[in-house]
Structure 1
Amino acid sequence: MHAAHEQTYETTSNHLDGEGLSLVAELTSRATRDNDLTDKVEAYGKAGVPVYLVLDMQEKQAIVFGSPSAQGYEVRFSKPFGEKLRIPESLGCILDTDGFQAPDGPATKKPAP
């Protein structure tokens, strides 16, 4: 998920200007977790995305990155699901993760009667 000023979408490119984005948020999966917490952290930070929020479904925690720079993000906060997480400026708010939970695992088919 991402949020941006509407002018950010006025492009013919299939890539959005990182500085035009306000927030990028991801839910991890077993297949994407490593990329979400390494490559994307570096890429979004260097691109100037102000806030990158990762809901780590495997570790049951919310992680927020802020203060982007040429080296990546300079700020990282995390809280386990059920606690409140401070979202840094430019959004400057509190995310209440009470009620967040990871799925119970792969859906299982009930045996036929």
Structure 2
Amino acid sequence: MSVDAIMNTEFPAGYAVFFGAEGKVVMTPQSEEHSSTIKAMQYDTILSFGRHAKTVSDVYIDFPADENSAPDLAILRQDAQKEGKRYSFEDVLLISEVVSISSARKDYDDCTAKYGRYGIPVYVVVDPYAAEVVVHTQPTGTGYIAAHTHKYGTGRLPIELADGRTYTLDLDELPRPEADPKTGTS
């Protein structure tokens, strides 16, 4: 499927659509936890940088080789300028993806390799099901050199950005999936 065909396709409401290597198109239903987690991270960007900080959520960012992404949250350089209708991967200081049941492999493996390969300085995986956040730093051609795991409920997590600013993620305020009343599991 060509990029033009994808860009002009209307996908069903309530789904996130991801485009992977080899022309894969993955549609994932959005959960309340997913949405609430993104909202919590966006709120933390306002507390960290003010309401006019350059951040985007679920907005396409141009990457080379038609590997464009619409991450759950991206924090951009303050001087970032759109090239045409989009920002470039070169403007990104931090990308965060929120794990859903069907996206775990993509978020933990595929995105870690991709964002590292393109030199995204900080990649954060937020996993409501494991109640943890993994912060990847020091990008390489195949991923990241460093990965540090932080549990939900352990306070404020300062994350240093390449431009010297600090994004503070409040691990006490990240939502957790509600238990299924029938099974008692999330």
- TM-score normalized by structure 2? 0.49
Q: Name which of 135, 138, 141 aligns with 1:64.
A: 135
In structure 1, stretches of 5+ residues that fail to align are: 107-113
AA paired with 1:87? I
Find 2:169's aligned residue among 63, 80, 95.
95
- Greater helix proportion: 2
Identity %: 24
RMSD over equivalenced CA pairs, Å: 2.7
* Gapped regions of structure 2 (runs ≥ 5): 1-72, 181-186
2:76–2:91 CA contact under 8 A, matched in 1? yes
Match of 1:111 in 2: none
Structure 1 pair 53–20 and aligned structure 2 pair: CA distance change class (3 A): same
Q: Which has the higher contact order (CA 8 A, sep 6+)?
A: 1
Corresponding position of 2:120? 49
- Once the two structures are superposed, the pairs formed by residues 31-42 of structure 1 within 5 Å of their partners are 31-42=102-113
Equivalent residues of 2:76, 2:94 under 8 A apart: yes
Which AA in structure 2 matches 1:100? L
CA displacement 1:46-94 (0-9 Å, x = unmatched): 1111111111111110111111122321110111101144524525555
Residues paired across the two proteins, number? 107
The CA deviation at 1:41 is 0.3
SS at match of 1:38: helix
Q: What TM-score do you get using the length of structure 1 for normalisation?
A: 0.76
